[in-house]
Amino acid sequence: MDFKQMEYYLMIAKLKSMTKAAAELHVAQPYLSRQLKQLEDDLGVTLLKRTTREMQLTAAGRVLQQRAQELLELRQQSLQELTAVADGQLGTLKIGVTASINNGLVPAWLAQYYQQYPKVQFIIEEQSGSEMPAMLAQQRIDLGIIRATGPIAGFQMLKLPSVPIVMVGHQLATTAEDKGVPIIVLKGQPLLVHRYHANLIAKLCHAAGFEPNFLAQVDDPLTLLRLANQGLGTALIPQDWLDLVQSRQRQVQILAAPELTRPTAVIWQTEKLSLAARNFVELIQAQKIEIKPNVRLI
């Protein structure tokens, strides 16, 4: 029994007339009669009792009517779902994010993506940037969002807005410098830093002729910001972390050190990119989302 035969049978069962069914289906009545006879022979049951006035469904005919309707509806639903998956309207978008990237970009993009593709589900996994290529190769994720300074062999890359590392504290010196303050202002200050940035900051301080005073090296960005909000020292953090913890008392300054700009990028493997992931990349390319922290720079 094929789907066409089910459609024919359902029309006959509904109208209980071969003549009316043939007219509704735009087929010849003898052809429709042969299709019904073949269906009954294939199933080995009588589906309809023919009388001079109309056709009556047998018990087997009523069962087949219900099952055929269910199968045709399931077929239609399956075709719609397959088409939706092929168009990127359904599926799962798997994104890997480097733990040191904590900004409003990813949530903003996901919110916009959800508006266009509300039936796509998200899996977001935090890992170190060094793990992302292997995760992509194993198809554990579709896209990786990492701190990257240059191309990575075997991967496509979309560069995102660079993020400066800024000073955060309660009593920072006021400056009129638009391009930031020199690294020497850190001399003697108790510093709160993420362990990921500690070596780079130490190297810049040594180049400026002084030893940094690391009061705390922290793995968790939230803990780092909470320490800064308590006034324990001056925190050095990527600017895109500022929205993680709000505070009216803290002040923010940009350091005049190009080395402290953190480049960010999306990477993927072209040949393994799902359509749902491709739609996400296209959304990023089409958007120009700037990081606008809710803080006052001095």
**pLDDT computed for residue 91 by the predictor:** 78
Q: Is 180 left (phi over 0), alpha (psi -120 to 50) or beta?
A: left
Cβ neighbors of 247 (< 8 A, separation 6 or more) are: 229
Is-contact 65 13, C-beta < 8 A? yes
Q: Does domain 3-86 have CATH number 3.40.50.720?
A: no
pLDDT, mean over the chain: 80
- Encode pLDDT of 80-138 as tens digits: 556 655 555 667 889 988 766 655 667 778 888 888 888 888 888 887 777 888 888 88
Number of Cβ within a 10 Å radius of residue 214 = 17
Helix or strand or coil: residue 115?
helix
Helix or strand or coil: residue 153?
coil
Quick check: do 91-161+264-286 and 163-261 share a fold? Answer: yes
Predicted TM-score (pTM) of this structure = 0.54
Average pLDDT, integer, range 268-275: 79
**pLDDT computed for residue 101 by the predictor:** 67
Domain 163-261 fold is D-Maltodextrin-Binding Protein; domain 2 (3.40.190)
Alpha-carbon gap, residue 167 to 185, rounded angstroms: 10
Alpha-carbon gap, residue 37 to 22, rounded angstroms: 14
Give the pLDDT band (50/70/90) at residue 290: very low
- Encode pLDDT of 178-202 as tens digits: 567 888 989 999 999 988 788 989 9
Cβ neighbors of 270 (< 8 A, separation 6 or more) are: 156
AA letter at 271: E
Alpha-carbon gap, residue 46 to 35, rounded angstroms: 13
Average pLDDT, integer, range 219-235: 84
Q: Tell whether the model's pLDDT for residue 14 goes beyond 60.
A: yes
> Dihedrals φ, ψ of 265, to 5°?
-150, 155
The CATH homologous superfamily to which domain 91-161+264-286 belongs is Periplasmic binding protein-like II (3.40.190.10)
Which of 183, 163, 192, 98 lies closest to 293, judged by CA? 163
Domain boundaries, the chain: 3-86, 91-161+264-286, 163-261
